[in-house]
Every structure is written in structure tokens, then in C-alpha cells.
Chains A and B, each alone.
Chain A
Amino acid sequence: MDKMPRWADVFLVPFINLVLAFLVAGLVVLAIGENPLHAIYFMVKGALGSTSGLGYTLYYATNYIFTGLAVAVAFHARLFNIGGEGQAAVAGLGAAIVLLAFDWPHWSLALPFAVLGAGVFGAAWAFIPAYLQAKRGSHIVITTIMFNFIGAALMGYLLNGILKSPHTQNAESLPFPAGAHLPTAHEVLAPLGIAFSKSAPLNISFLLAIACTVLVWFLLWRTRLGYEIRAFGHSESAAKYAGIPAVKITIITMLISGALAGMLSINVVMGEQEHLIKEFVGGAGFVGIAVALMGRSHPLGIVLAALLFGMLTQGGFELLWEMPTISREMVLVIQALIILFTGALNNLVHDPVERIFLRLRKRKS
């Protein structure tokens, strides 16, 4: 019983990590001669201060929920899927192919098929690394990195080739049919008498993200498959004792992970861009790693972390207007520091906190 209480592990340590990350980020802001408190004020204001800001914040959060869930599901089986970026990109192809194939009469008809297309393509892009890990022992981290680049090349090829719109110089597809337009927050809320920014890209994919969150929670803690995934992740030897097949679990987990990452394309490609462009993922796949780490791989934690990162992203854009010396890449710095402190340097905080709890307990007894 030489452990600290669960709440400390789940809340206190990540919180201290987060504070440290922001402190260091604050130092960076100081170093370039700006006031970090001002920066935070403008970021929060930019992210939450208007329905437009809120709309963008939730739009980004939607992306991060998808990629965060993708990383987290894999984490539960002790697999590090660093390929969310590529899986999401290829899933965009799947969604685009579905959406360009028909002149969809209504979004409610188009959405399920787009989800299917994106999911299948995203999962397919995760399948080969998964198979190679399960059957040939190839390190999944390296293969998924490689597949990110291969995916980018594939996208480039298709968008400069058969998928390319003849009307433009850019590497992008034709616009999707108007019937495939997903309702935005403005369109959904206006009939209810709620005024929401017209410009914000928040759309009903957000609800899809929430649904996925619930589904992931349901999968992991309510289904037999989830039980086996978690058991396999915690102890491979015990999983073998129980007769849980390692190859099957590895592959299925990665397929789910890839499909979840692929859902990002519904939000971005179908929900906002309404045609396929080359680099629409824009690093959200990697942010998913930070989100999963910060959220301790729990769906609820992931939603909270995704909101935080959504605020950071949107706040970072706004910051650019208010404090031009700080570029929006400051957001990347904060993300990096959060990954560093919560992921790689966790023991920096964890060990001392544990020692304090041990000492407190000793004093009590």
C-alpha cells in the first residue's frame, strides 16, 4: 500500500504539470518582452468572449476530441498510435470520395455514408501498422510515423491528379454538392432564437464528437471487447493466461483508433472546407497525443483537455490581433510543454508528490 491516493494521481499531478507548462510558457512570453498575464487575458477573451470565438473554440475542440480519443483507445491497449495525422488525412479522402460520388439531396443522408467512408479509410490506414506490429513485431510508433508521410504523399498525388478540381490551380478537389452541407451552429440555433455567430465553423460534427466520446467510454467500460483491450494493455502475460488473443486485440484496437482519427475529416472536410484540400489536418493528429496524455486517456478527461486545447488554438489566433509580437505558434509551444510535462517528465512531479503523501501517512500512523 505504498501508493498515493487516486485523486492525487488523477487530478493533482496533472494539474501541477499543467501549471508548470504554463509557467514555462509564461517565461517564454516574458522573454520576448510581453506580459504573460495580458496574453492569457486576450487568449481567454478570444476563445470565449464572443459566440464567434466560442464557435471556433468548440470547432477545434471537436477535432481534438476525435484525435484524442484515437490516441487514448490505443493507449488502453498499450499501443502508441502516433499516426492520427495520416489516418485523418486518408480518412478525408474516404469522406471526399463518398461526398463527390453522388449529388446528395440532404446532409442527413450524406453524413452516415461520409462517416462510413472516413471511418473505413482511417481504419485502413491504421491496419497495416497494426498488422505489422501484431504479426511481425515492427514497432508501431515508427510504422505509424512512416504512414503519416506516405499518407501525405498519397493525398498530394490524388489532389494533383484524379481528384483535382479543373477550375483552380490549387491542389484541391471539386466542391461537395450543396446537399452535403452540414448545419452550422448558427443554422441550428437560429430557429431556437439563439443568436450564434455566422462565421464560426462549429457544426453538428461536435455532436458526433460527443457521441464518439460516449461510445468510447461505452466500449472500454461496458463491452467485452473493451474489457479485453484494457486487460491486454495492463498485462500481456495475464491476458495470455485468460486466453485473450493478442493479435486480434492489437488489430481491432488500431482499427478503432484509426477510424476515430478519421472522424476529424467529417468536422473539417465536410463540415467546414466543403471540398478536400491537402493539409487539412494541420497537426490536430499530434495534438491528440497531448489531449490523451492530459486527459489521462479517459473520455471525460479528453473532452476537458480538448476544450482546453481548443481554447488555446482559438485564443492563439486572437492573440495575433491584440499582441502582434506573439505569434499563434505560441499555442504550439504550450502544447509541447504540456506534452513534455504530463507525458515525458511526469515523474518530475509524480515522485515528489508521492513522497509527500508517504511522509504524511507515516506521520499519521
Chain B
Amino acid sequence: MSEQSTKTGRQETAAPAIELIGISKAFGPVQANKDISMSVAKGAIHGIVGENGAGKSTLMSILYGFYKADAGEIFVNGVATQIPDSQAAIKAGIGMVHQHFMLVENFTVLENIILGVEDGALIKPSLAKARSVLLELAHEYELEVDPDEIVENLSVGHQQRVEILKALYRQADILILDEPTGVLTPTEAEHLFRILRNLRDQGKTIILITHKLKEIMNATDTVSVMRRGKMTATVKTAETSPPELAELMVGRKVLLQVDKSPPKLGETVLEVSDLRVRNEFGVERLKGISFNVRAGEILGIAGVAGNGQSELLEVLGGICTGTGSIKVHGDELDLTGNHSDGQSRRARGIAHVPEDRQRLGLIMDFMAWENACFGYHHDPKYQKNWLMMDNAAILADAAAKMENFDIRPPNPRLLAQNFSGGNQQKIVLAREIERNPEILLVGQPTRGVDIGAIEFIHKQIVALRDAGKAILLVSVELDEILSLTDRVAVMFDGNIQGERVTAETDEKELGLMMAGASEEAA
């Protein structure tokens, strides 16, 4: 990849606002940033786009002094700058609006503004000063907010304004916003972009981190794309398009061709209609979606991460509650009551390979064999009698699964945390697939999994389909969707943007739908 040639910003202005050279950062064995170089022109809105986990937030946290880079250099306005802590970043004129707001919720707006930059031992003068500065800023940038309100009483959009005000109060010239619209309504988001453009016109530099292509196209001047810890390209927004960005984000892997015959469709197994889910803040994340999955087919759910796919898996898997209707073989499932938990779902033949295997799918401190029956530990075949579990049977069962799924090392007494990502995934997959479920829910089956294991996992999923089961596969990898599924539904902003037969669509069309283009246009 020719990253170096794309550093176009450099020729235009003598000293970019930010220039990063060769930044690397690892968390234990995970390489979050690999040799990243980029430059951000002064007075521009610069987008950084990439999948969840691509390393965007880590990179920006390094720039803000929250993490220390293992290697690399940072130049601010052309001057080499050490940023060991946030204080240094603030001094260098960098402000950051974090994805999770760094606000003290039971403080007033003013108290939050002055925290850390008080003018003296008493807070009264600082509060007075902040009040007048706030008034000016509010006027200048449409950033009105009641200075005496307690932050937790503010709407999320207003809380975000407080974060921006905090940065401006610290006289930031460079403002980093990490996924700022994730918690905003469309109107609030529009307002935010108006503020950002305003700030840019006043000479501020904005770095906007997002995984939403629409926002990049809407708001930025330049865009850098990250993928798996690396910077894959930097382009001018005017000269690119959502499909191109989608391709850069998702990337092209060595195309793994999956041998599969045309599907032998059976009856409809899973019927979902008008399904709605709200998150803990009461924001609707699934906005009334409907679809069917038939026996013997794989329905892919494509989309940029964070558009409701996780909530869909969770409500189907009984982890969260929702409204609407889910039918399995025509029988309604309980979505809110006593029977809306993982146990009841499993009893109805729904198996679930969750997106986050470490947080949900496995007990990392349990041994492999204990994990091999996790969720199915009520199954009579794992019981010795009414009281005892049949550990010998579970162990034998686990050993057989490890053999069948080629899990390495094939030692059922090893703790789950000591397996590699791919083998952890195989433990979960073996557990769920060998149940021979009616419906298999799979989330990101190959995230963090090595190439060899990917092929194996894909084969297992296809085999289950050929056995006449219904499979719902959520993936942000377009390649995976295209090579594995029979039908694909694209999710965008809590809705299903459109449905296609996989064989009759292509990356370009799906990319457009992922970017939020309406079905007719696509």
C-alpha cells in the first residue's frame, strides 16, 4: 500500500497542525497502532475513519497524552512535542472530546469547565471568569448551555457541548472529537457539524474520529482511513466516495473462496417483525426491523459497526429485552418477561456465537472443558444425577469438540484465556454448532482470528446450513458477507436499509447501502 504518497497535506501548508511519524502502541500482545504516520492541515476538519477496534481511539489518546506511545514522534505546528500526559497536550493547544464524556455528572457546567484549570485556591473567581467566557463562546459558536445546570440533568447533546466548551476554555486550537455522534440524535448531530464548521472557519483545526461514512462525507475536508491498527490511506474528501472509503476500511483480504452449493431452502424458521430495542439511556437502537430466515440459508447482516447489529444479536439471544415480535417456527418468543433469557432461547433451539467472545461467550478463568458446556450446563447429557454435573462426560465431550474443531493446544484443562483468539472462537463455535441448533446466531465469527482458522470456521457454518438450519450472520467484513451468505440485509442506523440476494449484488452496491444511501438510489 502506498501510504507515503498520500501525505498530500504536507505540500500545502508549511507546518501542519499535527504531524505524527511512526506511532506504534501495543497493549500486551495486541498491537493497537502499527507505525502510523499522518498529518493534519491547519484550519481543516480532518476525518479519521475505520472499524471499531481499528486503533483510532488509541491513536488519539496518544495524541492527548492519555496513553504513551511505544515508538514514534509527534509534531504540533511543526514543533517536535513530547506529550507525556494530558496537561502537556492541553499546553500544546490540543483539546479532546472523548467518546465517553469526561464529565463529573453531579457537578454544574461551570464546575466542570474550570476543573483542572482553576485560577487559584478558591473556585469563586474561576467560576465568575468561566461564566463570562462561556457567554462569549456561546455567542460565537452556537454553544449555548445553562452554566449552572447539573451536568446529569443535561441532554447528551448539551453534555457534549460542555466538553467542547471545556476544550475551548483551555484555549485549544486543535480539537479532537472521538465518535461524537454515537450518542446524538440526527438533529443534534447536524447542530454539532454546524458548530464544527464554525470553529474551523475561526481557524481551529478539528480531528473527527468516526466510523460513519456519511459524517465523513458531510463534514470533513480530508480523511484518513485506518484498518487493523494501520493507516491505509489519506485522501481529500471531495475526491473520494463512500464505496471507496468502505472498501479501504473493510479492506480486501486474500479472497477466501468458500465451497458452497446453492441453498436448499426450507420453510421459514425465524420471523422477526417490527423489532425495537432501546439501550440503557433510552435511545432506540433498533427501530422496528423485520426480516425472515429460512431453513437452509445464511442471512448476512452487513453494515458498519454500531448501526444496531449488536442489539439485534442480543435481543435474539435473550441478553436484552425488546418489543415487537420474534417467531421461531411460528411460535412467539417472550421478549420482556420471565422467559426472555439465554436459557429460554437455547431451549427454543437458538444458539448464539456472540460478537464479544471474551466478555460474553467465554468465562476466561474457566478451563476449556468448563466452557464447552457453558449455557447448556442444564442439558441432561451433562448431568450425572439430579444434583451433580457429569464432569467426566463434559470433559470427554470437550475433548471430542476440540478434536472435531482442531482446537490447539488440544488440552481441555487449559484456561480459556490461554488460547489464541482463533482457538477461543473455535471453542465457542464448537459448543454452539455441535448443539445442532435450529437457528444459529453468529456475530463477527472471524474477528481477531488467523487466516487458517477463518477458513475452517466458514466451512463449519456452511456445513450447518447444508444440514438445513437457519443461520443469521452478523459481520462487518464485506468479504465474509459476500462469500458466505445466501442473502444479505444491510443495517444502517437501527433500520434495515435494504435486502439483496448475495449472488446478485456486489461490494459497491452494499457499500452504498452501508453508507446510508437509500435503496432506490442504490
Contact = CB atoms under 8 A, between A and B. Distances in A.
Indicate yes or no for A touching B, C-beta below 8 A.
yes
A234 B364 CA distance: 8
Which bucket holds chain B's interface residue count?
20 to 34
Contact of A241 (B319, B388, B389): B319
B346 A231 contact: no
Contact of B374 (A2, A237, A238, A245): A238
Interface stretch (A58-66, A220-228, A273-281, A287-295): A220-228
Contacts of B29: 1-2
Interface stretch (B220-228, B355-363, B399-407, B513-521): B355-363
B375 A227 contact: no
Interface string B395-429: 00000000000000000000001100000000000
B127 to A, nearest CB: 33
A241 B342 contact: yes
A224 B375 CA distance: 11
A244 B366 CA distance: 16
Nearest to B365: A234
A241 B28 contact: no
Interface string B345-358: 11000001010000
B408 to A, nearest CB: 13
A5 B364 CA distance: 16
B389 A237 contact: no
A191 B48 CA distance: 84
A245 B361 CA distance: 16
Interface in B1-48: 28-29
B341 interface: yes
Given A224-B378, A241-B352, A243-B341, A234 B360 contact: no
Contacts of A241: 317, 319, 342, 352, 354, 360-361, 375
Contacts of A238: 359-363, 374
Contacts of B370: 227
B318 interface: yes
B364 A227 contact: no
Contacts of B418: 1, 3
A243 B366 contact: no
A317 B344 CA distance: 57
B238 interface: no
A226 to B, nearest CB: 8
B268 interface: no
B363 A234 contact: yes
Which bucket holds chain A's interface residue count?
20 to 34
A357 to B, nearest CB: 15
A231 B389 CA distance: 14
B364 A235 contact: yes
Contact of A223 (B318, B366, B389): B389
B255 interface: no
Nearest to B420: A1
A231 B362 CA distance: 9
Contacts of B319: 240-241
Nearest to B344: A243
Given A240-B342, A241-B319, A227 B377 contact: yes
Contacts of A190: none
A243 B363 contact: no
Contacts of B310: none
Contacts, number: 71
B71 to A, nearest CB: 19
Interface string A1-41: 11100000000000000000000000000000000000000
B122 interface: no
Nearest to B343: A243
Given A241-B319, A243-B344, A245-B341, A223 B388 contact: yes
A231 B371 CA distance: 10
Contact of B346 (A1, A221, A243): A243
A6 to B, nearest CB: 9
A231 B365 CA distance: 9
Contacts of A244: 342
B386 to A, nearest CB: 10
Contacts of A235: 359, 363-365
A222 B393 CA distance: 12
Contacts of A237: 359-360
A18 to B, nearest CB: 24
Contacts of B318: 243
Contacts of A224: 377-378, 383, 387-389
A228 B374 contact: no
Interface in A213-253: 221-224, 227-228, 230-231, 234-235, 237-238, 240-245
Given A241-B317, A243-B318, A234 B389 contact: no
B438 to A, nearest CB: 17
Contact of A227 (B343, B346, B354, B389): B389
B257 interface: no
Residue among A3, A221, A240 with the highest chain B CB neighbour number at 10 A: A240
Nearest to B340: A243
A221 B391 CA distance: 9
A231 B366 contact: yes
A71 B450 CA distance: 43
A267 to B, nearest CB: 27
Residue among B346, B363, B364, B378 with the highest chain A CB neighbour number at 10 A: B363
Contacts of B383: 224
B378 to A, nearest CB: 7
A234 B374 contact: no
Given A227-B377, A228-B377, A243 B389 contact: no
A173 to B, nearest CB: 37
Contacts of B378: 224
Interface string B301-323: 00000000000000001110000
Contacts of A227: 370, 377, 389
Contacts of B360: 237-238, 240-241
Contact of A234 (B341, B366, B375): B366
Contacts of B389: 222-224, 227
A231 B359 CA distance: 12
Interface in A184-231: 221-224, 227-228, 230-231
Interface string A114-128: 000000000000000
Shortest 4 CB-CB contacts between residues of A and residues of B:
A243-B342, A243-B343, A242-B375, A243-B341
Given A224-B377, A224-B378, A235-B363, 13 more contacts: A1-B418, A3-B418, A224-B389, A227-B370, A235-B359, A235-B364, A238-B361, A238-B374, A241-B319, A241-B360, A243-B342, A243-B343, A243-B375
Interface of A: 1-3, 221-224, 227-228, 230-231, 234-235, 237-238, 240-245
29 contacts: A2-B28, A3-B417, A222-B389, A222-B391, A223-B387, A223-B388, A223-B389, A224-B383, A224-B387, A227-B370, A227-B377, A231-B374, A234-B363, A235-B359, A235-B363, A238-B362, A240-B341, A240-B342, A241-B319, A241-B352, A241-B354, A241-B375, A242-B342, A242-B343, A242-B375, A243-B318, A243-B341, A243-B342, A244-B342
Interface of B: 28-29, 317-319, 341-346, 352, 354, 359-366, 370, 374-375, 377-378, 383, 387-389, 391, 417-418
